Structure 1
Amino acid sequence: MKIRHGAFAYTWDLVGDPAAAERIAGLGVSTVTLQAAYHSVRATTPWHPHHRIVQADHAAAYFRLRPDRWRGRLKPYPPSWGVPDEDRFGTALAALAGAGLRAEAWIVLTHSSVLGREAPDLTVRNAYGESYPYALCPAQPAVHDYALTLVSEVCEQYDVPALMLEACGWLGAEHAGHHEKTSGAHLSACGRALLSLCLCPACRSGLAERGLDAEELARDVRAAVDGELQRGVPAGESLGDALGHERAQAIYDHRGGVIAGLVRAAAAPAGGRELLLMATDDPQVTGPDVGIDLASFDAPVDAYVLKCWGPEEAALAQVKAAASRTEVPIVANLTVLEDGHARIPALAADLIAGGARQLRYYHAGLGSPARLASVRAAARVKERQC
């Protein structure tokens, strides 16, 4: 079986740089995962002829915004940085096509601090009633509609063969930014998961439909979190330990149902395009990669994109386990931005042998020459025995 290799890229890597697309093609990849809607970020642009740092101050849509298509409360902002262009996605897409590269649209759905600050009632709300402004709650109908409009606008305006969906569910308590000062409290993974549980009105309603008393749940979450923070009493290894396995399963079922509903709804405007879902096979997880049960997820997904960052052993175990639990193809997402990038070619081969059907490398615009050389070497792994 031939393996598809691809690289992530930002529109600002390409727009205004006539050499960028050919430079990416020179990595040996056939596909580029190109940002169409993205959260705030500060990024280097080591290769661009006109700038070196891009400060993307807020989440933005990089495709052409058509005001008449946005009828709800949530409307994406255009970018105001980098090279002026009202259709940066379309411009970058044309450049990639000219270099013979297949481009898929990379769409971040529920991660937007600027929109969360404008509509705090539509954000994730923890058991203490505190809002996470960077995290729009997908159980909110207005957020669902906003996410679908993002997908629809990309599909109506651009001929892309695939959509990669990031942040298709809940973001939780962990969020890098604003000079984070939360690590010293030393919350366990379970404690952070408890603080990531959304109890906004929409989630309270959804949990109640599954037999949960939201007020009682909030009290128990606060007791478990405060036990860790104030008395050093571990909440447990999992939400099941802290809240009881039946309640934890009801939470996972609620989340899985909302995420699956959003993906099913996105399949209609996608119109046969591939849907690639950034995911992890752990329903307790919240974040840009949705935590779901891959074996039972009930939505038309063409591939799961698993983040294979960090320890190689864990990445390989994750891919092997996922490939054994689902027939949906697995895409391994590898980063060359960490130390040890020289091992990427060997890891890519191991992940392919472990069940990955495709690979994506993060990131074509951010890597140093040595790191991009690792991508070039990894992309030479062309097939695996079936």
Structure 2
Amino acid sequence: MADEYVSATAVSTATNFIMEQETTYTRTYRTYLRLRETGQLDLKFWHSNAVDSTWDVGNTAKGSMSGGEWVIESAYVAVSGHKRDGSIIPGSAIKVTFDGEVSKEVAPAEKFWSDSVHIDLPAGHELVFSWTISAYAGKSFTYNTEGLLVSAFEAEGNKADEEEGALFTSSENRLVLPAFIGYKKQVREEIIFLGDSITQGVRTRKDGYEYWVSRIADGLGPDYGIWNIGSGWARAYDAATDGPWLAKSKQGSIVALVLGVNDIDIGSRSAAELLNDLSIIIRKIKRNPERTGVRVILFTIPPFNFAEEREEVWRTVNEAIRTHPPEGTDVVFDIAEVLSCPAPEEHRIMPKFMSNEFDPHPNGEAGKEVADAFLEWFREQNL
């Protein structure tokens, strides 16, 4: 991203939903984030007022849908205490400004940066990002809806600098964050993980950072930038439209592409359609004139307990990825091999890796297995 800022967290900041209400309101959103480094940090925030990927069948939010008009009334970064209860350490809140102003009117589809902000984040503490948003009736700002992977809170009114947690209530499925939370850092590579809920880490333990992208970030260390833009319900054909979501992936020097589950499932794509969408994505990344020499890691499609026609599509696409991947693919990482049951049940995820007996989303144990395999594999590659 701009001025050598790289993602400060492994938490996904992708959007798959849009706020829609009948009346104007003002509300504060506060999120606790474990950053990849602590100490003296130069932070900067970037936002894209658009939906990245389609939620469900797209009745409310579709990939590349523009956000509406809304206002940032105030924004702050602060230091967490020893509890994630909506409170911050007294005196630690620092204003975030936009072109020197404390407030910012946001236009549909607008992309914008904050000013830089300096904070001393002690080891063992998390960054708390709070912003107060005023939204008009109708559709306004975009966000991510899913079971949350981090602690997030909401409060009515302008409470972005509030130190006590009593006024805040816990959010269950609404993560309202800037699209990019960056810190100034020189890195060897900027790796972007473009995927769905499996990449995002959905169903792993809240505040546990045990999904595989987070574990990979820990294993590689801060010399590698890691930006997670995995998004629940996302599909390859969202990215293939070359909209705001794919534009984010083009910022990386290495792009890891982990898509296909939702294309096969809710998207009902054929093997040919899915392979064509993956080819388009890779071609758009490779031919980006603003960043040349980008390497693409294409993952096989993780097992998701598909059956009948969907199982056949899964098998066909993975065989193609392993033997004749789309043009422009630099290397293939076989995530399915790590997670799958032994043949002939390899289309099924190992039961021990399921988040529960009915849900094939990978759990934290699966996150460790995938991360360990990826790190060993990655260090052998000539990337």
Give the structure with the larger helix fraction: 1
Would you call these one fold, judging by a TM-score over 0.5?
no
Higher strand share: 2
